[in-house]
Amino acid sequence: MLAASGADDEDLHAGQRNQHRADPDQVPALRRIGAAVTIERMPAEIPDPAPATARLRLDLSYDGTDFHGWAAQPGQRTVQGELEAALSRIARVPARVTVAGRTDAGVHARGQVCHLDLPRDVLATIPGRSDRSPAEALVTRLAGVLPDDVVVHVAREVTSEFDARFGALWRRYRYRISDGPAAHDPLRRDVLRHRRPLDVQAMARASEPLLGEHDFLSYCRPREGATTVRELRELRWERPGEGRADEGLIVATVVADAFCHHMVRSLVGALLGVGEGRRPESWPAEVLAARTRESSTRDGAGAAPLCPPQGLTLDHVAYPPDEELAAWAARTRTLRAPLPVEDVAVAE
């Protein structure tokens, strides 16, 4: 009886095992390896966890007069240094920002954009006991920490694909000039005082050949290995009429996909020579064609003079729709990738 009972138990267990065997032709998750059949367990579908960090976009402006430029530098007062110190103080963690345009010493901004990443648990603490959103609370708290010459107007959470630098479609700068003693306002620290009258129409005509995609090496101080090819989309000169904010001034509006170092100030410097009558209208295009930063060239074109920084303001930075951010940033990174050393034109 015991032996028979043991045999019956063995048959029972075998039958149970057979019930759990699946036909490999009927179950998609089965895979036949040689003569054996293995079962691949399909992963359960679970929602993606929320990212541990949040990306914030900040829109800000500043008076660049008392700053040694945007970029943080040891022992120097910079916009980046002030902003990161304020953010780190509020968040109580180190904060690092990426900016759309690294302005030089003395250059102003009305529409600067930067982004930073903060841990979500840190971001959640910023409102404190208030019912404001973390982004709204951050703007309020920054106003109480930043110096008077820097203002963050808006903070908002953006997708992780947003990149303030590489995601920008174009940047717009404005350079403001007063070309007569009666027109100069000593309270306007964003205006260059120019003591000679300027021919705006001549400067506008001389600007036309510079539009489009060119190698602007002659108008840049290039970084080693970096391309100086840019698309200049707009270079317009005007005297704003009565009732306009810049009435009585000359305003140059300069728009490009991006600018290399000193590009706007060099373009304006070359065109001021035309406006004064010291250079022919063809001269800025000749400088462009020379593709050199030498002080003189074989054709006598010479180098474009660099205008003072105080008249220059970063006015606006434009970005594509959210769904195009990642593709545009990838495209820009490819265009701005360092060139092989042998392909870089170097002025002796």
- CA-based nearest residue to 91, from 123, 136, 131: 123
- CA-based nearest residue to 337, from 248, 225, 244: 225
Contact criterion met (CB below 8 Å) for 233 and 213: no
- CA-based nearest residue to 272, from 262, 260, 284: 284
- Rounded to 5 degrees, what are φ and ψ at 149? -90, 10
Question: 9, 11, 66, 104: which is the annotated catalytic residue?
Answer: 104
Q: Is 104 an active-site residue?
A: yes
Cα–Cα distance between 47 and 53 in angstroms, integer?
17
Distinct helix (H) and strand (E) counts, the chain: 8, 12
Q: Residue 330 corresponds to which tokens in the numbers above?
A: 């990838």
Q: Residue 159 corresponds to which tokens in the numbers above?
A: 């997708």
Cα–Cα distance between 337 and 12 in angstroms, integer?
70
- CA-based nearest residue to 176, from 185, 168, 165, 167: 185
Residue 259 three-state SS: coil
Active site amino acids: 104
